[in-house]
């Protein structure tokens, strides 16, 4: 009965958010404990699911006992378990980081409620095998993220949250419209059934229209360049753990995962759409990094880098070759590790110094050793310096570009990487190296739990390259890549797993 594991990924965060809202206010420290336990348990079962997938290939759970295509199904394949590990492991570290960090806010239990709802939404998007269900979970995650961006109720947070909510809602409307068109074409909502129906009916302009709507909607959710305007406002204005969550996993599970699932598994990988994805990827890569260099606000700089790094991921996926997809997925994992680490570092700096302006910092290395060293590791990872994890994934993406004959894209990727290095040298130079300013003599290092999660994420950054070892890759990255490459085989696998 391994398939009963699947609904747990949604039930646990939903239930703990509910319990939190009931008891969190009355019992002090209750919400810290319950959300840490819930996210730890989720992280453990997501890692366990990787081994399940290795043995059994694909697991399908029928919600309420109704067999698809009539009922809603939850589907777990290599890509799903890969995403679940990414989301839940990062969520656990962010949850324990928040224990100390969120002390400066009131209503801490409300924060944990929204945080757990967001995790429920993201896990739901990743695990759902039904189009409309995907939309519902996407909205759960999106609405709680709008509220979390405004959590501080300061000027910037509210303004950014309004902007983000308006753009996010329009994106969701586009996605729903795309689902409506696909439903009118195929008369089904189950992804596997839909994929078979589309393959049977052949290409049509309705499918093309729906693909464009999905590209707009999910492109906005994952902040690809023409649709990126909300990200540099929303991510810096949120509390640091939420910035880490948004940049680290939300844009990936809502945007990139959904793009991959719909374009590869449901609609079948169309070369036209893939080339659009590649161009958007290269565009985001360059525009994001160029805008990042000029920033003086630490978190805003990191937010622009998120746009740029998402470009790398989309470029790798859009290549459509096994190597490119492997690179894209690996970069997705790496980016979620080092970008959340960088946002947590910026949170620790803000916690101690009280500002995000790079010009007002300097010499923090003397006082905040752990933060400085972990951020140095994360900066080197994102800039692609060996032997950190970012180097391996970027190298694979560039090699895949060359292998597929796209030399211009490979060149852009190298340039983007160099510019990333330049802007992180700026961060290190102004924030952590140099002379300690006299105004900063009183600052202290971050508290225990913040240090703990930063150190563990830094260790993952250093050891991340080991995931490429053949034995490890066969268990973790390999099945994810195969699930993407399987394309319309997905439908057959789902119905085979039901029997």
Partner 1 sequence: MSVYFLCLVLFCIGLYCILRKRNLIKIIIGIAIIEYAVNLFFVLVGYKMGGRAPILSPGQSIVDMVDPLPQALVLTAIVIGLAVTALIAAIAMRVYEKYGTFDITKIRRLKG
Residues that bind partner 1 (CB under 8 A): 132, 135-136, 139, 143, 146-147, 150, 153-156, 158-163, 165-166, 169-170, 172-173, 176-177, 180, 183-184, 189, 232-233, 237, 294-295, 297, 300
| Least distance to partner 1, CB of residue 116, Å | 17
Beta bridge partners of 61: 74
| Least distance to partner 1, CB of residue 56, Å | 31
Tell me the two tokens of residue 25: 């206010």
| Least distance to partner 1, CB of residue 235, Å | 11
Residue 22 has phi, psi (to 5 degrees) of -75, -50
Q: Which is nearer to partner 1, 93 or 214 (CB)?
A: 214
Q: Which is nearer to partner 1, 232 or 324 (CB)?
A: 232
Q: Pick from 493, 375, 490: which is nearest to 432 by CA?
A: 375
CB atoms within 10 A of CB 282: 24
Tell me the two tokens of residue 200: 């049977």
Q: Which is nearer to partner 1, 217 or 464 (CB)?
A: 217
Q: Which is nearer to partner 1, 162 or 411 (CB)?
A: 162
Q: Which is nearer to partner 1, 224 or 303 (CB)?
A: 303
CA atoms within 13 A on the CB side of 389: 28
| Least distance to partner 1, CB of residue 138, Å | 10
Q: Which is nearer to partner 1, 190 or 379 (CB)?
A: 190
CA angle in degrees (0–180, nearest 5) for 96-295-350: 30
Q: Which is nearer to partner 1, 232 or 390 (CB)?
A: 232
| Least distance to partner 1, CB of residue 159, Å | 5
Q: Which is nearer to partner 1, 172 or 211 (CB)?
A: 172
| Least distance to partner 1, CB of residue 96, Å | 28
Q: Which is nearer to partner 1, 152 or 268 (CB)?
A: 152
Is the preceding peptide bond at 498 cis, omega within 30 degrees of 0? no
Q: Which is nearer to partner 1, 57 or 152 (CB)?
A: 152
Q: Which is nearer to partner 1, 290 or 404 (CB)?
A: 290
What does DSSP say about strands 59-62 and 73-76: parallel, antiparallel, or unpaired? antiparallel
Q: Which is nearer to partner 1, 206 or 436 (CB)?
A: 206
| Least distance to partner 1, CB of residue 230, Å | 10
What's the 3-state SS for the chain? CHHHHCCHHHHHHHHHHHHHHHHCCCCCCHHHHHHHHHHHHHHHHHHHHHHHHHHHCCEEEEHHHCCCCCCCEEEECHHHHHHHHHHHHHHHHHHHHHHHHHHHCCCHHHHHHHHHHHHHHHHHHHHECEHHHHHHHHHHHHHHHHHHHCCCCCHHHHHHHHHHHHHHHHHHHHHHHHHHHHHHHHCCCEHHHHHHHHHHHCCCHHHHHHHHHHHHHHHHHCCCHHHCCCHHHHHHHCCHHHHHHHHHHHHHHHHHHHHHHHHHHHCCCCHHHHHHHHHHHHHHHHHHHHHHHCCCEHHHHHHHHHHHHHHHHHHHHHHCCHHHHHHHHHHHHHHHHHHHHHHHHHHHHHHHHCCCEHHHCCCHHHCCHHHHHHHHHHHHHHHCCCCCHHHHHHHHHHHHHHHCCCHHHHHHHHHHHHHHHHHHHHHHHHHHCCCCCHHHCCCCCCCHHHHHHHHHHHHHHHHHHHHHCHHHHHHCHHHHHHHHHHCCHHHHHHHHHHC
| Least distance to partner 1, CB of residue 34, Å | 24
| Least distance to partner 1, CB of residue 197, Å | 15
| Least distance to partner 1, CB of residue 22, Å | 20
| Least distance to partner 1, CB of residue 160, Å | 6
Residues 193 and 60: their CA atoms lie apart, in Å, by: 14
| Least distance to partner 1, CB of residue 345, Å | 21
Q: Which is nearer to partner 1, 285 or 303 (CB)?
A: 303
| Least distance to partner 1, CB of residue 274, Å | 27
């Amino acid at each position: 009965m391994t398939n009963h594991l699947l609904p747990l990924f949604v039930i646990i965060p939903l239930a703990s958010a509910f319990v939190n809202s009931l008891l969190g206010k009355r019992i002090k420290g209750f919400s810290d404990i319950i959300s840490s336990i819930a996210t730890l348990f989720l992280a453990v079962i997501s890692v366990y699911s990787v081994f399940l997938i290795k043995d059994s290939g694909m697991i399908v759970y029928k919600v309420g006992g109704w067999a698809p295509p009539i009922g809603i199904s939850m589907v777990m394949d290599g890509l799903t378990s890969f995403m679940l590990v990414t989301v839940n492991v990062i969520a656990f570290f962010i949850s324990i980081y928040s224990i100390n960090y969120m002390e400066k806010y009131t209503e801490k239990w409300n924060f944990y409620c929204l945080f757990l709802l967001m995790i429920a939404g993201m896990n739901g998007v990743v695990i759902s095998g039904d189009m409309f269900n995907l939309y519902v979970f996407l909205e759960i995650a999106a609405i709680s993220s709008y509220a979390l961006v405004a959590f501080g109720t300061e000027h910037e947070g509210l303004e950014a949250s309004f902007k983000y909510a308006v753009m996010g809602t329009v994106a969701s409307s586009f996605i729903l419209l795309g689902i409506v068109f696909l439903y009118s074409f195929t008369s089904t909502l189950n992804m596997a059934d839909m994929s078979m129906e589309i393959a049977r009916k052949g290409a049509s302009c309705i499918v093309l229209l729906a693909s464009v709507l999905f590209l707009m909607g999910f492109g906005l959710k994952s902040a690809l360049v023409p649709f990126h305007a909300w990200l540099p406002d929303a991510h810096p204005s949120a509390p640091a753990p939420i910035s880490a969550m948004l940049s680290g996993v939300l844009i990936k599970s809502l945007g990139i995962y959904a793009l991959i699932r719909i374009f590869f598994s449901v609609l079948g990988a169309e070369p036209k759409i893939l080339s659009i994805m590649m161009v958007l990827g290269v565009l985001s890569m360059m525009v994001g990094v160029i805008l990042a260099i000029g920033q003086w606000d630490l978190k805003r700089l990191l937010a622009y880098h998120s746009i740029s790094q998402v470009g790398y991921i989309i470029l790798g996926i859009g290549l459509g070759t096994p190597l490119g997809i492997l690179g894209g997925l690996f970069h997705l994992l790496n980016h979620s590790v080092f970008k959340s680490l960088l946002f947590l570092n910026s949170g620790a700096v803000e916690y101690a110094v009280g500002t995000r302006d790079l010009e007002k910092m300097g010499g923090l290395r003397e006082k905040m050793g752990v933060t400085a060293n972990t951020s140095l590791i994360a900066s080197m990872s994102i800039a692609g310096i060996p032997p950190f994890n970012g180097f391996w994934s970027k190298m694979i993406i560039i090699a895949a570009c060359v292998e597929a004959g796209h030399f211009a894209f490979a060149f852009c990727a190298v340039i983007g990487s160099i510019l990333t290095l330049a802007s992180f040298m700026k961060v290190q130079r102004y924030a952590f190296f140099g002379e300690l300013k006299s105004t900063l003599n009183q600052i202290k290092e971050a508290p225990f739990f913040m240090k703990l999660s930063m150190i563990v994420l830094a260790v993952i950054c250093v050891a991340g390259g080991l995931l490429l070892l053949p034995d490890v890759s066969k268990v973790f990255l390999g099945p994810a890549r195969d699930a993407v490459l399987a394309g319309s085989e997905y439908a057959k696998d789902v119905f085979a797993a039901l029997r």
